[in-house]
């Protein structure tokens, strides 16, 4: 059963849409928008609750997974990963350049390749 508060805000939102958006009244549109905002801000996500009986020998593991970063923090982390990968590629390229490729003689012996 819904409370009087919920019914009142729901009817104000409905009337605001009807009279404001469809009827062209700016005042009713403002009333409907404010009622919707109040309803939205007061609504809270319901916590997830699970009830089960454990059998003998069963156990539960409770963990918390942090939310992934977003916004500026995520871009900063992405940039750091790209920079690290770029530096690693440069290092590999430099190591390859330093190592001289070996050529093969007819006898199977290895010798430094000429450039």
Cβ atoms within 10 Å, residue 38: 14
pLDDT given at position 14: 93
pLDDT given at position 113: 59
59 neighbors 68 (Cβ within 8 angstroms): no
32 neighbors 17 (Cβ within 8 angstroms): yes
Query: What residues have CB less than 8 Å from 59, skipping those under 6 apart?
Result: none
Q: How far apart are CA 40 and CA 5, in angstroms?
A: 13
Q: How far apart are CA 20 and CA 13, in angstroms?
A: 10
pLDDT given at position 110: 56
Looking at the chain, the number of H-run helices and the number of E-run strands are: 3, 2
The C-alpha torsion from 67 through 69 and 70 to 75, rounded to 10°, is: -160
pLDDT digits (tens, 9 = 90+) for 12-56: 999 999 999 888 889 999 999 999 999 888 887 777 787 888 899
Q: Where are the domains of the chain?
A: 4-42
pLDDT digits (tens, 9 = 90+) for 53-111: 889 999 888 888 777 666 776 677 677 777 888 888 899 888 888 876 655 555 555 55
């Amino acid at each position: 059963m819904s409370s009087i508060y919920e019914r009142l805000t729901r009817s104000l939102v409905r009337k605001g849409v009807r009279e404001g958006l469809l009827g062209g009244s700016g005042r009713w549109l403002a009333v409907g928008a404010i009622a919707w905002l109040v309803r939205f801000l007061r609504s809270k996500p319901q916590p997830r609750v699970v009830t089960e009986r454990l059998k003998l020998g069963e156990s539960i593991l409770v963990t918390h997974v942090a939310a992934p970063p977003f916004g500026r923090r995520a871009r900063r982390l992405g940039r750091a990963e790209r920079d690290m990968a770029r530096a690693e590629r440069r290092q590999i390229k430099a190591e390859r350049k330093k190592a001289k490729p070996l050529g093969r003689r007819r006898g199977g012996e290895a010798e430094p390749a000429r450039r």
